[in-house]
Amino acid sequence: MNQSALIVFNVIQLLAGIPLALATLYIFIFAFAGLFYKQPRYPQNPLLRKIAVLIPGYKEDEVIVEVAQEGLLQDYPKECYDVVIIADSFKPETISALKALPVKVIEVKFDKSTKSKALNKAMEQLPAGYEIAVVLDADNVMAPDFLRKVNAAFEQGCDALQGHRKAKNMDTSLAVLDAISEEINNHIFRKGHRVLGLSSAIIGSGMAFRYSFFKEIMSTVTAIGGFDKEIELKMLRDGHKIVYLDDAAVFDEKVQKAEVFSNQRRRWLSAQLIYFRRDFFTALKALITKGNIDYFDKAIQFIQPPRILLLGMVILFGSCFIFLNLLIFNNLFFAAFWGILMTGCVVSFICSIPGAFYNMQTVKAAISLPKGMLLMLGSLLKIKGANKQFIHTQHTAGKQNIK
């Protein structure tokens, strides 16, 4: 290879490698930090606060009655919490079944349904007196001690917290990969961030807020999709911390079909891109003028490539460039660069996956990893317009793998 062609080849390597290296360094730092996470101890005999468990659902007739029944089984005084089902476009028989239970049912209907509209409408109708708002998805099942642990955490004066969302079902390879992805994010964006003094990311469900604070901030939310991203940015911009309760579990249905996986990721990626564009320069200014690392870090998170796609790109590009560099006897720096990058990326994932997932079920699911990468890439290429419409994820799973 002549000198000019070699220079072009090396420039291409750097253009591909530097963004991947920065993204890998980001997750490596927090993946390593997450290994040192220790769950804060709960105060003994905390004040019992009145909790509203808000469960918005859109056409969730298949799962909502079971979820409502499960919500009533908390190890927390019955008079101190209400399960509130926010029913958007439910069947009449589902509404009747819900009203037969000791839960509050608030029926809503909108020309364009969104979770933020449903939550705001419900809080307009609920009576005063609640001190904590817990937000769940229509498929979520709380561990029996979830509310007790949430209540104890608020004794320490926090405004918001994220519980540990776990897989409810792992009955398909795609569901297993989705469950692993959730745990990787828990490790990096919640455990790792808290160890380094930053706020935990919130996920949209399994989260809790001081009620008056949540009602006030939700009244300003206009998001069609990604309402949790909007309130998270508003909180971090104003200096509020978000804590993480690793041992307060909420079980969440993992996707079982490729179409659902693609639609869900398309919605998430679209929201992230929108908020990155909207908040990056504001967050940079806040970092420079006020030292607001939390807000800037959140803006940076939104431009991070999806973890499964990052892993795929690093392995594919790294393998190809190492082979080509050795083939043409190029400067060893480049082969070493890609080798270190691949190692750092893989180690980050190994650090972030809980030991319980190192089993044959995961090995079998790993066969579907290339499919998951392609689905994520397809979602990334089709995000245009996803923020302008409500994309509904239909839930069907019961309590299959709750432990």
Whether 375 maps to a domain, the answer reads no
Round to whole Å and give the CA distance between 39 and 184.
17
* Model pLDDT, residue 40: 86
Question: 172 and 269: one domain?
Answer: yes
Q: Which two tokens stand for residue 304?
A: 């991070």
Report yes or no: 84 and 68 within 8 Å, Cβ to Cβ: no
Same domain, 31 and 158: no
Question: Do 31 and 170 belong together in one domain?
Answer: no
pLDDT of residue 381: 57
Domain of 119: which CATH number?
3.90.550.10
Q: What is the pLDDT of residues 148-189, one digit of tens each?
A: 999 999 998 889 999 999 998 888 888 888 899 899 999 999
Residue 206 belongs to a domain:
yes
Instruction: Quote the tokens at residue 198.
Output: 């930053």
Cα gap 165→162, rounded to integer Å: 8
Q: Residue 197 carries which DSSP code?
A: T
Query: What's the rounded mean pLDDT across residues 344-357?
Result: 94
Q: Same structural domain for residues 153 and 181?
A: yes
Residue 113's pLDDT is 84
Residue 57 domain-assigned (yes or no): yes
Q: What's the total number of domains in the chain?
A: 2
Q: Which of 120-129, 205-214, 259-268 has the lowest mean pLDDT?
A: 259-268
284, pLDDT greater than 60:
yes
- Name the residue range of residue 82's domain: 51-275
Q: Does the pLDDT value for residue 261 go beyond 80?
A: no
Residue 324 predicted with pLDDT over 90 = yes
3-state class of 144 per DSSP? coil
Average pLDDT score over residue span 101-115 = 92
Residue of 88, 155, 153, 80 whose CA lies nearest to 119: 88
Residue 30 is classified by DSSP as: H
273 vs 304, residue with greater confidence: 304
Average pLDDT over the chain reads 88
What average pLDDT does the segment 22-37 reach?
97
Cα angle vertex 41, ends 36, 43, to 5°?
A: 165
pLDDT tens-place string over residues 40-97? 888 888 999 999 999 999 999 999 999 999 999 999 999 999 999 999 999 999 999 9
* Residue 58 token pair: 């859109």
Do both 31 and 57 map to the same domain?
A: no
Mean pLDDT of 90-111: 95
**Same domain, yes or no: 68 and 163:** yes
**Crossing angle of helices 173-185 and 332-352, rounded to 10°:** 100
Q: How far apart are CA 20 and CA 342, in angstroms?
A: 10
Mean pLDDT of the 97-118 span? 93
pLDDT exceeds 90 at position 366: no
CB 106 within 8 A of CB 123: no
Asked whether residue 80 falls in the same domain as residue 176, the answer is yes
Q: Looking at the structure, do residues 190 and 123 belong to the same domain, yes or no?
A: yes
**Do 217 and 74 reside in the same domain of the chain?**
yes
Which phi and psi (to 5°) does residue 294 adopt? -55, -50
**What pTM value is reported for the model?**
0.88
**Residue 286 belongs to a domain:** no
Contact assessment for residue 135 and residue 215, using Cβ atoms and an 8 Å cutoff: no
